[in-house]
Chain A
């Protein structure tokens, strides 16, 4: 019987060998992909259990990883969650990450290529991998001032350093608490998510960078810039036609008493004279207006660190045949279909203050490794030259006049030269009002855009200024 037993032994050896070979083949062929599969909960959980570096505003860590005793090991915690939500974003199990938590994830988690060597050394030393620290450009004082000034109203505030493009304040309201979503209690996270996504006032929308709104008269800065650049208007003292604007195609008219049939463009800016700018816009044409706006950043997503939307003059897909004269004229005064982010309007004011040069906005100043070495340092980048120095100077003077003698007086800060422009937009047949104030503080090299949305705002420039200008003022004072 030994012959068959030997053959049986060979069979058993083959069976055991088949198991080993099959496992080895799978290890080489299919396991590498399965080990990184998004469907593999182990992958998701391990990612969620990272010890991430903090996000800093000044000397305060607004997002930190705290060691906890559960399977995810580190709980992400947000200080002043709603205040900094548009900057930090959230870091969640089910819903991924947003804002800096997403865009800086490589640094925060320590997975960034530049940190490979540090992680390797950490590994060899047996210590846990640690994420890098991300320092933002945000000023806590400006952020808090903007938040307090908004006082729970729907709106957004953006403040920029005009010479660098560094974002000093980025506030959106109403906001949400990222702690509710980042919690390790996944059911609670789900519940919070459902509540927040279904909330009527959309607290998770980033109104500062990711939503576009009709700008109203604030757009006149761009129309004036185009007119001056084009030479349509020689300089600030050139008189322009301020009579009622009409076109042959429609019965719609743009009328306003601006203090005379012809006034200077500077005066037109101070009183925010609609027919004067409408006529300038119609004469320039939509192409020229668009070119000027694009130089300020319209049509481009201005920011990559948090999600942002490109601003627009009109809905190009809906008007493939172009606009009629009245539509162009309305665009020139920020009506019709103009839509801009508060960040974009802050960039316009910043460029005017910065001698016409548009700086690329940024939010991350510096990244420090675990052992405090600088791994990344922001360098200001020029987006482009929107207008000449002369045009910038002329617009600057007009904006200062708006604050000293015109509709923007509520933004005046004693001892500092502040320029600004109001904007108010009321959609036809709606109680909704959009109030803007874009401003710069000359000595501080700061530009601010304050935007408030509501149905209790009076539909005049004064009304818009009443709502938005004090917010800009508060931010400027905080940065003083």
Chain B
């Protein structure tokens, strides 16, 4: 008699872990104040209440709409978001000035970021309400693709695009600026998944063999070449290697998963390397980035930021200076691109390693959902969304820690910035919806359950394609 897998909902675990996440973030916030002023700020109960309320809303929404969702994803996300808030607040405090008339003033980025967090949770809830069945996304691959590409290339429109810190990945919307690529990455991921599910049979047709690798047929190279051209456009005109790598890497990975043809990633790597090399030869700013990566001290002033980040890491050492006791504000853009340097300085190499591991677990849970999902579209979507995190975390953290040349990607959930935060919460919402469907008991899914499971928590081995 074959057994039936029934995942437990594990919402209680999620609640307990959420409490931990919030406790860690809050203690960062409180320790900062204790270390800097030896006193707690008057508004601290409000800050605790706000963060708890947000987590509660998210948790209740999950219980209501997607009760079988993965129990780790929300607490891990909340943890990263909370730590980010605490560090942005800590960096705000570094700007405190006391005027001659006795009034004290400082920046209020963390308060703004808290508002963005609230907005993100609301949109998270909205996604859960509207997209409880994500199948609807499967229907419009071409429309979504067009919208995604337009958003991606929006900063190239004259008058709309803004250049910040050497990269043209922002657009101005009158009252604030936006990074449309943050939304484009989700839209394109959905579009890729929908398109590839439909076309995977065709795209995986065998072509000629070369060196033991089956190449795709020439006409099937169309999609990958199109994405390559778009990525090259991004690379050359927006001057951002990270964004180009993110989109091209995402497409190639999803193409590989859909077709199971190793030739695609090989072609992808070759194409991207060619573009990166051309960029190195053609553009001075790319060469500057590479020099800054290999030998930052050759030009102290030009590479000031990356050098300051290294000084910060070195100053923090293994366990860090402690919240509020380092000098992370010496590194330019400490709240955005270099927030990981700030965390590394005050929480130490250990602390930042822990944060990297949290990202790793988050990615692993996403890929786990991809493996467990019964539906090819869901599989591709979950794998793609997880891989977005992987590329993004690797390139930005690798850039800050000098594993790679620096690129202008945001650090998911940690860095200051509304568009990035909202987009990543939407991404998490989608991922959780997919996990809900993957873990839902089969009886709820269809009348004739698949019966080849061995035990609880095992992976689908057969018939999962």
Question: Which A residues fall within an 8 A CB radius of B?
Answer: 1-6, 8-9, 11-13, 15-16, 18-20, 22-24, 26-27, 30-35, 37, 39-43, 45
27 A-B pairs with CB atoms under 8 Å apart are A1-B257, A1-B258, A1-B260, A1-B383, A4-B256, A4-B260, A12-B363, A13-B364, A16-B356, A16-B393, A22-B401, A26-B313, A26-B402, A27-B317, A30-B314, A31-B310, A31-B313, A31-B317, A31-B349, A33-B314, A35-B314, A35-B315, A35-B317, A39-B300, A42-B311, A43-B315, A45-B327
Give Cα distance in the complex from A230 to B79, angstroms. 89
Across the interface, which residues of B come within 8 angstroms of A16, CB to CB?
356-357, 359-360, 363, 390, 393-394
Within 8 A of A (CB), among B328-360: 330, 344, 349, 352-353, 356-357, 359-360
Is there contact, CB below 8 Å, between B310 and A30? yes
Is there contact, CB below 8 Å, between B311 and A19? no
Across the interface, which residues of B come within 8 angstroms of A32, CB to CB?
314
Is there contact, CB below 8 Å, between A40 and B257? no
Across the interface, which residues of A come within 8 angstroms of B454, CB to CB?
none
Give Cα distance in the complex from A39 to B383, angstroms. 44
Give Cα distance in the complex from A39 to B300, angstroms. 9
Query: 1/0 per residue B365-390: CB within 8 Å of A?
Result: 00100110000100110010011001
Is there contact, CB below 8 Å, between B359 and A42? no
Q: Which residue of B lies closest to A12 (CB)?
A: B390
Q: A5-B371, A24-B349, A43-B315 are in contact. List 17 more A-B contacts (CB 8 A).
A: A1-B258, A1-B376, A4-B260, A5-B367, A5-B370, A6-B371, A8-B383, A8-B387, A12-B363, A18-B398, A19-B397, A22-B401, A30-B310, A31-B310, A32-B314, A35-B315, A45-B327
Q: Which residue of A lies closest to B461 (CB)?
A: A2
Question: Which B residues fall within an 8 A CB radius of A?
Answer: 253, 256-258, 260, 300, 307, 310-315, 317-318, 326-327, 330, 344, 349, 352-353, 356-357, 359-360, 363-364, 367, 370-371, 376, 379-380, 383, 386-387, 390-391, 393-394, 397-398, 401-403, 459-461, 464-465
Q: Which residue of B lies closest to A15 (CB)?
A: B394
Across the interface, which residues of B come within 8 angstroms of A27, CB to CB?
313, 317-318, 349
Report A77 CB to chain B, min CB distance, Å.
Answer: 21
Across the interface, which residues of B come within 8 angstroms of A34, CB to CB?
310-311, 313-315
Give Cα distance in the complex from A8 to B360, angstroms. 13
Give Cα distance in the complex from A228 to B363, angstroms. 94
Report A11 CB to chain B, min CB distance, Å.
Answer: 8
Is there contact, CB below 8 Å, between B364 and A42? no
Given contacts A4-B256, A12-B367, A16-B357, contact A42 B379 (CB under 8 A): no
Give Cα distance in the complex from A33 to B317, angstroms. 11
Report B385 CB to chain A, min CB distance, Å.
Answer: 12
Partner of B312, one of A13, A30, A39, A42: A42
Across the interface, which residues of B come within 8 angstroms of A9, CB to CB?
364, 367, 371
Is there contact, CB below 8 Å, between B314 and A1? no
Report B323 CB to chain A, min CB distance, Å.
Answer: 16
Give Cα distance in the complex from A284 to B349, angstroms. 72
Give Cα distance in the complex from A8 to B370, angstroms. 11
Across the interface, which residues of B come within 8 angstroms of A3, CB to CB?
260
Is there contact, CB below 8 Å, between A1 and B465? yes
Is there contact, CB below 8 Å, between B367 and A8? yes
Is there contact, CB below 8 Å, between A31 and B403? no
Across the interface, which residues of B come within 8 angstroms of A18, CB to CB?
394, 398, 403
Report A127 CB to chain B, min CB distance, Å.
Answer: 15
Across the interface, which residues of B come within 8 angstroms of A43, CB to CB?
315
Which among A6, A9, A26 has the greatest number of chain B C-beta atoms within 10 A?
A9
Is there contact, CB below 8 Å, between A40 and B311? yes
Is there contact, CB below 8 Å, between B379 and A1? yes
Partner of A19, one of B260, B300, B317, B356: B356
Give Cα distance in the complex from A2 to B310, angstroms. 40
Q: Which residue of A lies closest to B255 (CB)?
A: A4
Across the interface, which residues of A come within 8 angstroms of B344, CB to CB?
23
Report A362 CB to chain B, min CB distance, Å.
Answer: 38
Report B35 CB to chain A, min CB distance, Å.
Answer: 12
Give Cα distance in the complex from A101 to B459, angstroms. 69
Give Cα distance in the complex from A45 to B312, angstroms. 13
Q: Which 5 A-B pairs rank lowest in CB-CB distance, beginning with the nearest?
A: A34-B314, A35-B314, A31-B314, A16-B360, A15-B394
Report B458 CB to chain A, min CB distance, Å.
Answer: 13
Across the interface, which residues of A come within 8 angstroms of B390, CB to CB?
11-12, 15-16
Is there contact, CB below 8 Å, between B256 and A12? no
Give Cα distance in the complex from A6 to B403, angstroms. 25
Is there contact, CB below 8 Å, between A8 and B253? yes
Report B72 CB to chain A, min CB distance, Å.
Answer: 15
Q: Which residue of A lies closest to B94 (CB)?
A: A71
Give Cα distance in the complex from A64 to B258, angstroms. 73
Give Cα distance in the complex from A45 to B328, angstroms. 13
Across the interface, which residues of B come within 8 angstroms of A4, CB to CB?
256-257, 260
Partner of B464, one of A1, A11, A30: A1
Is there contact, CB below 8 Å, between B327 and A42? yes
Give Cα distance in the complex from A37 to B253, angstroms. 43
Give Cα distance in the complex from A1 to B300, angstroms. 49
Across the interface, which residues of A come within 8 angstroms of B315, CB to CB?
34-35, 40, 42-43
Is there contact, CB below 8 Å, between A41 and B257? no
Q: Which residue of A lies closest to B384 (CB)?
A: A8
Across the interface, which residues of A come within 8 angstroms of B402, CB to CB?
22, 26
Give Cα distance in the complex from A2 to B438, angstroms. 14
Give Cα distance in the complex from A41 to B330, angstroms. 8
Q: Which residue of A lies closest to B394 (CB)?
A: A15
Given contacts A2-B460, A5-B371, contact A23 B401 (CB under 8 A): yes
Give Cα distance in the complex from A11 to B394, angstroms. 11
Q: Which residue of B lies closest to A24 (CB)?
A: B349
Is there contact, CB below 8 Å, between B360 and A23? no
Q: Which residue of B lies closest to A13 (CB)?
A: B360
Is there contact, CB below 8 Å, between A19 and B326? no
Give Cα distance in the complex from A2 to B374, angstroms. 11
Is there contact, CB below 8 Å, between B312 and A19? no
Q: Which residue of B lies closest to A69 (CB)?
A: B98
Across the interface, which residues of A come within 8 angstroms of B403, CB to CB?
18-19, 22
Is there contact, CB below 8 Å, between B352 and A23? yes
Give Cα distance in the complex from A402 to B37, angstroms. 67
Across the interface, which residues of B come within 8 angstroms of A39, CB to CB?
300, 307, 311
Give Cα distance in the complex from A6 to B370, angstroms. 10
Report B355 CB to chain A, min CB distance, Å.
Answer: 10
Across the interface, which residues of B come within 8 angstroms of A8, CB to CB?
253, 256-257, 367, 383, 387
